[in-house]
Structure 1
């Protein structure tokens, strides 16, 4: 069986010689294999075969932790999703395509993050709902000086115009290259850290939003390298500056109607929006094991950094980890923002876990606490207790333990995926034990 004729014609039209079959593993490393056009028919429907152990490869080096339950024994196939075929302008002669892993009998492989997200999308569809999502992509632009030290490419601050000026040509090239790959660019500004910028891309269906994250990261790194700079999405590169997040915005629709705003009360959540948010808020401590998945993540999650350290939510509250942004004109609000997510998190796992948590809130009608309309960091321990608020986990060990104890999320992930994920993350954590900050950065700077 060959691929659909229109896709094959597109490859021929653009003189494509290699097709890259792409995925992201449990540590959110972007991986792939290039198949030559002369051999493409042999894998067009099944995809190339790999050992099951590839999904358990560690972030630091290619080792499969025994605790992951994965091993070099057994094969899975990276089945292509031809609807995602794209032609990166910076890779003439090469095309890329996203993949879903399947087992020998052709069934979706339970350890594939993209398969997990598709299962959660199906759960939404059972309720007649769809989700749209988008990410705010922050990253640092750095170089190494003559001593090999990592330094930022500018020293501007949040929204300072000199930050945009310093990287105008790079950002122009990045935007145009993303647009050429079908990604709608909306806004860009200098962020709070030196050498840090943010580029916002338009929301779309939740699976496409996760796919776009892989495209954005790969494209940003390639374009930056051509301008003599390194783009890094590591949460914290410089201890004294703000860290790099990847805030995710999400909304629910039914038959094209946004279910987040309350039609009767402007600038307030609907009952559906409240229930879904209640589930995400309830499971947020356990979600931290997915959305803040490396030691470095917790260097970023500090009070006063606009990313959220208290388990709460609020309208237009930048210090709440779950923010409900309002608009000047209706409909308002249109989405919910999760601020604790960073680029070390696999976007398929992040969005799938958000759906699982939100559906629990809907199904069980979990109560939603009152919104917090002050900076939660100024609240005393007594204030927090009175409001029923608590501090979010401050380290990865605690987050992973809470994730393992969360039956809703673990059951949603399933035994194969949850065991593999926890095994890989705990092994990585053990491998980095005692590392000084400088060693951590040297190893991880280009991992994300």
Structure 2
């Protein structure tokens, strides 16, 4: 980042300050998401925004080896007390927060002190993989489904805010003001919500956001979750996005929807392959399917993820695909997109889109083809292939996958594996009940 770019950023931020003052903003939160899926933050007073835009805000690189419970491990290529990074706000995404009066939010990119992108910047990786697709003539549109549970405040136990029926309107009636406040806040923040509804578990809800370019889709996922958190607190309640809030519950998913485009055309429709897929979309989906075990280390990255990722819970526990099949890890929505169902919200959304796009691009380059679709519950098929049943298996698959480790780079991939193994060691002696309790309020 040269001097001219820094001064341009300073001027752009300075031009924004007066408008933000008129909206009663007093401070700006700069967020990034670490390798464990925790959203971390540094904030500046509004008057400091131009300086932050030009010079960045200091942050230690040690966050690359934080676990979800704030334990710091010693990684092979990251960690320790030495060094500093700079957080640079992406001013195009700056948003005044409707649920946090006085605050604005902006996602940050991490650079070193010389203005060079940090090699383990998660948002930068997502942008780099999207750029690789663009070189091949493709673009991806992406969107996340966000599932969460709402519990009563004042306790670390989970006491659901509603025990009304699954998908029942009664639950939405019981939390009518809460739901309306949430949707109003998201609309005020220019988040396009496609749908909102009560989900299966007690106190559980889900919303889906409109497709965007992959980096912005990940940004929106962060913004949505933090807005949910803020609205929930303002109502005296508590929210959890954990993949397994209680051991006997179904857990929260974080499904990713992807569509592949070329020259303004959605390649998931109008073709001659399965259910109207074009050959390119077929190959893209095949690349993702082939690498699902390794992708679990990114999209199902916590020990608790594997309490959720079990058969007959609609979690997508099998490395298979099907048309509108909610028990396969890949669900094709004919003519529209591909849903990856095995992911959850303990994942870093930037790493999720980066890794999934890299897998899909490899499928295109290698001209891979989808196998026969699965039209039944895969549990009934003796040949059905389970996804990893524990985080150890997922990490081993990730380290063995040349496409993903090359996309991440050797040091980044090694640090991901180090962090995952750190969590495995952290919870090695814990029962499922203890794992659920210790991770319940972390995401």
TM-score normalised according to structure 2 size: 0.94
Residue in structure 2 matched with residue 98 of structure 1 by the alignment: 107
Secondary structure at the aligned position of 1:236 is classed as coil
Say whether 1:423 aligns with 2:431. no
Secondary structure at the aligned position of 1:393 is classed as coil
Which has the larger displacement, 93-102 or 2-11? 2-11
- Provide the C-alpha distance between the structure 1 equivalents of 2:138 and 2:235, rounded to a whole number of angstroms: 43
Q: 1:364 to 1:64 in 2, by over 3 A?
A: same
Q: Which runs of at least 4 in structure 1 moved beyond 6 Å after TM superposition? A: none
Shift in Å, 1:86:
0.6
Report if aligned partners of 1:189, 1:198 keep a CA contact under 8 Å in 2: yes
Gaps of 5+ in 1: 327-332
Residue in structure 2 matched with residue 330 of structure 1 by the alignment: none
Report if aligned partners of 2:245, 2:437 keep a CA contact under 8 Å in 1: no
Q: 2:91 aligns with which of 78, 82, 94?
A: 82
Residue in structure 1 matched with residue 4 of structure 2 by the alignment: none
RMSD: 1.8
Secondary structure at the aligned position of 1:289 is classed as helix
Residue in structure 2 matched with residue 39 of structure 1 by the alignment: 48
Report if aligned partners of 1:70, 1:420 keep a CA contact under 8 Å in 2: no
Report if aligned partners of 1:278, 1:361 keep a CA contact under 8 Å in 2: yes
Residue in structure 1 matched with residue 26 of structure 2 by the alignment: 17
Which has the larger displacement, 8-17 or 403-412? 8-17
Report if aligned partners of 1:21, 1:33 keep a CA contact under 8 Å in 2: yes
Which has the larger displacement, 43-52 or 190-199? 43-52
Where do 1:169-188 residues align within 5 Å? 169-188=177-196
Say whether 1:402 aligns with 2:397. yes
Say whether 1:134 aligns with 2:129. no
- Provide the C-alpha distance between the structure 2 equivalents of 1:334 and 1:39, rounded to a whole number of angstroms: 43
- Provide the C-alpha distance between the structure 1 equivalents of 2:195 and 2:329, rounded to a whole number of angstroms: 22
Say whether 1:341 aligns with 2:336. no
Secondary structure at the aligned position of 1:141 is classed as strand
Report if aligned partners of 1:85, 1:95 keep a CA contact under 8 Å in 2: yes
Shift in Å, 1:167:
1.5
Residue in structure 1 matched with residue 202 of structure 2 by the alignment: 194
Report if aligned partners of 1:142, 1:153 keep a CA contact under 8 Å in 2: yes
Gaps of 5+ in 2: 1-6
Residue in structure 2 matched with residue 168 of structure 1 by the alignment: 176
Shift in Å, 1:68:
5.2
- Provide the C-alpha distance between the structure 1 equivalents of 2:28 and 2:71, rounded to a whole number of angstroms: 24
- Provide the C-alpha distance between the structure 2 equivalents of 1:226 and 1:159, rounded to a whole number of angstroms: 24
Q: 1:249 aligns with which of 239, 249, 257?
A: 257
Shift in Å, 1:404:
0.7
Say whether 1:365 aligns with 2:367. yes
Shift in Å, 1:62:
4.4
- Provide the C-alpha distance between the structure 2 equivalents of 1:40 and 1:378, rounded to a whole number of angstroms: 57
Q: 1:85 to 1:144 in 2, by over 3 A?
A: closer
- Provide the C-alpha distance between the structure 1 equivalents of 2:350 and 2:326, rounded to a whole number of angstroms: 25
TM-score normalised according to structure 1 size: 0.93
- Provide the C-alpha distance between the structure 1 equivalents of 2:44 and 2:153, rounded to a whole number of angstroms: 35
